[in-house]
């Protein structure tokens, strides 16, 4: 059967997708435009970062290497700008999927029909994947064309690998937002809690190199798995792909369980 | 042969925390019936409807729609139901047409000619985006959505909210036609003349409990109407006292005012001894019946 709720959910985002394209392409262009000047002072930047307190560097800069072109793309684009934007999108869509519709009062349009609640959740999740895929394609194409202008060479398959890792990271948090929304029916709670988990797990991963007890639990952080194996250079780490797939599926199944029997506020 | 029961609840109870939604509800709506579900706001009308549609779970008791339990077989039931929510919320950015097309696809397809016919009858422009529509026009889209897949059972929560009188009349005709064609209706309302006009039978709900279920005709028989009798000559109060069903008798000169419950027969026979110039009566008002039930209930309690 044709997934109408999935396609409908994507269709209603048509206008916002246009803004996403403009925004992503614009940012990529900006990063490409400033690359030559960054490269000129790469030495100085690297030294500057070296001198920062270790804790500060770990928490807010991460592993950066401004001297190499790939390092620039990896640290500036993929560890700073894109995760923020993709998580913003995924948490927004995930929390709106059930809780947003419930709060707006439109959920009865979907449920006063012969469609199962579990299918509504599945199609909404499918729409989340669809949206993230769309953004990923925009990023890969944008960067692939963008780096041509500044003489950076990154193989297409490596660009795809790192973007796929980004997609999986965002999908995990988006599905967590879907789960909290399905369970509570509150979009605000879904956004708030998911963001809190994201911030917490980000710092667990970032501070792990300098804090002993965090190092032991570093691998529970999705951000660890996001950069594991350094996919822009070495391709995907399949263990991490499995990690993301598993937690996303667990969140999805729990979403269905939570939503299937709950009293709805519509 | 016993008529088929379309909706049946037994001891259906729903608590929201400690607050009662509905309590020990025993309902039976038969095939081909237009059942009016009456009560003030907050009496539990919408709660009942949400239980029937499996939006919420009962605390106790049982429900059957088309003989199936909504909690276990909701998808088997919902395809045969048309629903108008008490509060209409839609995907604002869609046009009426796109919204209905989407809803039709969820129902598994509809005859689009019928949708056009309904839109024409209710006078609503399907090209406009929902967000630009007035409350009444949104209501019309919701009505079309409930009727378009020609369901066997229509559950309508305050369906005429926001409609102007002309469209309201068109809606009553529509209900009557679709009912003639065999569909069953469960209509909640707090507007009595509308229930009187559409329904065969009503249930009156108060604070979550069904206090009475009655044929509209029976209710009408018990309905109290106000009467003004103009006599040719002066009459005495004593002459008109003790007539069955007559209350609140007031006589001033040659004019008598009173209220009569049920049949006027006894009163007419009595006053026929006198010369009557005029008899003014008002159509029996269910509002009064409704209030009487409430009063009676209160006296008992």
Residue ranges in chain B modelled with pLDDT below 70:
1-2, 283-301
Full domain range(s) for residue B278: 224-284
Q: Is B81 on the interface with A (CB under 8 A)?
A: yes
Query: B87–A110: do the CB atoms touch at under 8 Å?
Result: no
Calculate mean pLDDT across residues A195-218: 92
pLDDT: which is higher, A223 or B290: A223
Return the half-sphere exposure (C-beta side, CA atoms, 13 A cut-off) of residue A44: 5
Question: Looking at the structure, do residues B214 and B243 belong to the same domain, yes or no?
Answer: no
Residue B102 lies in a domain: no
In a domain? residue B146 = no
Report if residue B180 sits inside a domain: yes
Q: What is the pLDDT of residue B84?
A: 97
Question: What is the pLDDT, as a whole number, of residue B283?
Answer: 65
Is B272 found in the same domain as B155?
Answer: no
For A105, the closest chain B residue by CA position comes to B89
The answer on B266 and B228 residing in a single domain is: yes
CATH of the domain at B263: 3.30.70
pLDDT tens for each residue of A58-92: 777 766 677 778 888 888 889 888 999 999 999 99
Q: pLDDT over 90 for what percent of chain A? A: 68
Same domain? B68 vs B161? yes
- Is residue B68 included in any domain, yes or no? yes
pTM over 0.90: no
User: Stretch A43-62: mean pLDDT, rounded?
Assistant: 78
Domain end, chosen from B172, B187, B220, is at: B220
Same domain, B210 and B247: no
Does residue B30 sit in helix, strand or coil? strand
Residue A240: pLDDT over 60: yes
Chain B touched by A105 (CB under 8 Å)? yes
Answer yes or no: do A113 and B106 touch at CB < 8 A.
Answer: yes
Q: Is B90 in contact with A109 (Cβ distance < 8 A)?
A: yes
How many domains, in total, are found in chain B? 2
CB of A2 less than 8 A from some CB of B: yes
| B57 and B174 assigned to the same domain | yes
Rounded to the nearest angstrom, the minimum Cα separation between A124 and chain B is 14
Q: Would you tell me the crossing angle of helices A14-40 and A42-51 to the nearest 10 degrees?
A: 90
- Where a domain ends, among B205, B220, B235? B220
Query: Which of chain B's residues have a Cβ under 8 Å away from the Cβ of A97?
Result: none
* A263 CB within 8 Å of a chain B CB: yes
Q: For residue B12, what is the domain's CATH number?
A: 3.40.50.300
Q: Which residue of A has its CA nearest to B58?
A: A263
Cβ contact (<8 Å) for B75 and A114?
yes
Q: What ipTM was assigned to the predicted interfaces of this complex?
A: 0.89
pLDDT, residue B164, reads 93
Q: What is the mean pLDDT of chain A?
A: 92
Distance in Å, alpha carbon of B55 to nearest chain A alpha carbon: 6
d(C-alpha B195, C-alpha B205), whole Å: 14
pLDDT in tens, B133-186: 999 999 999 999 999 999 999 999 999 999 999 999 999 999 999 999 999 999
Within an 8 Å CB–CB cutoff, is residue B56 touching chain A?
Answer: yes
- For residue B155, being part of any structural domain is answered with yes
Distance CA A110, CA A43 (A): 58
> Which residues are CB-neighbours of B1 under 8 A, at least 6 positions away?
none
The verdict on A116 touching B (C-beta cutoff 8 Å) is yes
B-chain residues near A9 (CB < 8 A): none
Do B61 and B39 belong together in one domain?
A: yes
CB-CB under 8 Å, B83 with A112 = yes
Q: Which segments of B107-194 are extended strands (E)?
A: 153-157, 184-189
Interface check A8 vs B, CB under 8 A: yes
Residues ≥6 apart with Cβ < 8 Å to A250: none
Find the closest chain B residue to A100 by CA distance: B91
* Judgement on whether residues B198 and B175 belong to the same structural domain of the protein: yes
Q: Which two tokens stand for residue B55?
A: 């939006």
Q: Residue B276 falls within a domain, yes or no? A: yes
């Amino acid at each position: 059967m044709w997934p109408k709720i999935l396609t409908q959910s994507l269709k209603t985002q048509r206008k916002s997708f246009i803004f996403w394209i403009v925004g992503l392409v614009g940012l990529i262009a900006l990063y490409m435009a400033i690359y030559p000047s960054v490269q000129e002072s790469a030495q100085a930047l690297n030294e500057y970062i070296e001198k920062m307190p270790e804790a500060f560097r770990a928490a807010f800069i991460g592993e950066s290497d401004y001297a190499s072109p790939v390092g620039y793309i990896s640290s500036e684009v993929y560890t700073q700008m894109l995760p923020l934007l993709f998580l913003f999108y995924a948490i927004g869509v995930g929390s709106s999927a059930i809780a947003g519709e419930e709060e707006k009062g439109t959920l009865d349009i979907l449920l006063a029909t012969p469609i199962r609640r579990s299918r509504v959740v599945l199609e909404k999740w499918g729409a989340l994947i669809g949206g993230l895929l769309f953004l990923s394609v925009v990023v890969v194409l944008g960067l692939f064309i963008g780096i041509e202008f500044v003489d950076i060479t990154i193989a297409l398959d490596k660009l795809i690998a790192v973007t796929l890792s980004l997609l999986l990271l965002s999908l995990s948090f988006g599905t967590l937002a879907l789960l909290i929304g399905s369970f509570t029916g509150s979009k605000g709670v879904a956004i708030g809690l998911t963001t809190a988990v994201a911030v917490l797990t980000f710092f667990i991963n970032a501070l792990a190199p300098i804090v002993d007890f965090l190092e032991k639990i570093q691998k529970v952080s999705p951000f660890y798995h996001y950069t594991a194996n350094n996919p822009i250079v070495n391709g995907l780490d399949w263990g991490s792909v499995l990690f993301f797939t598993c937690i996303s599926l667990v969140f999805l199944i729990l979403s269905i369980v939570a939503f299937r029997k709950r009293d709805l506020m519509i | 042969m016993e008529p088929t029961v379309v909706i049946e609840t037994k001891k259906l109870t729903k608590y929201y925390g400690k607050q009662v939604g509905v309590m020990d509800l025993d309902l039976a709506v038969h095939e081909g019936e237009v059942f009016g579900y009456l009560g003030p706001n907050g009496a539990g009308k919408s709660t009942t409807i949400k239980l029937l549609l499996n939006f919420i779970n009962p605390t106790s008791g049982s429900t059957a729609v088309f003989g199936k339990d909504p909690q276990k077989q909701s998808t088997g039931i919902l395809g045969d139901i048309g629903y108008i929510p008490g509060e209409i919320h839609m995907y604002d950015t869609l046009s009426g047409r796109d919204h209905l097309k989407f809803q039709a696809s969820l129902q598994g397809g509809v005859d689009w000619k019928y949708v056009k016919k309904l839109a024409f009858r209710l006078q609503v422009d399907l090209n406009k985006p929902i967000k630009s529509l007035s409350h009444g026009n949104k209501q019309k889209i919701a009505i079309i959505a409930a009727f378009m897949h020609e369901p066997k059972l229509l559950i309508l929560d305050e369906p005429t909210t926001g409609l102007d009188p002309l469209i309201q009349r068109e809606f009553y005709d529509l209900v009557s036609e679709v009912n003639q064609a065999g569909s069953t209706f469960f209509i909640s309302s707090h507007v009595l003349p509308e229930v009187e006009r559409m329904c065969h039978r009503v249930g009156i709900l108060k604070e979550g409990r069904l206090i009475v279920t009655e044929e509209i005709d029976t209710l009408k028989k018990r309905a109290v109407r106000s009467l003004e009798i103009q006599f040719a000559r002066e009459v005495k109060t004593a002459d008109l006292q003790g007539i069955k069903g007559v209350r609140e008798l007031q006589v001033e000169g040659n004019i008598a005012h009173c209220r009569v419950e049920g049949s006027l027969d006894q009163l007419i026979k009595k006053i026929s001894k006198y010369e009557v110039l005029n008899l003014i009566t008002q159509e029996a008002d269910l509002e009064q019946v409704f209030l009487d039930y409430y009063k009676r209930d209160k006296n008992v309690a």
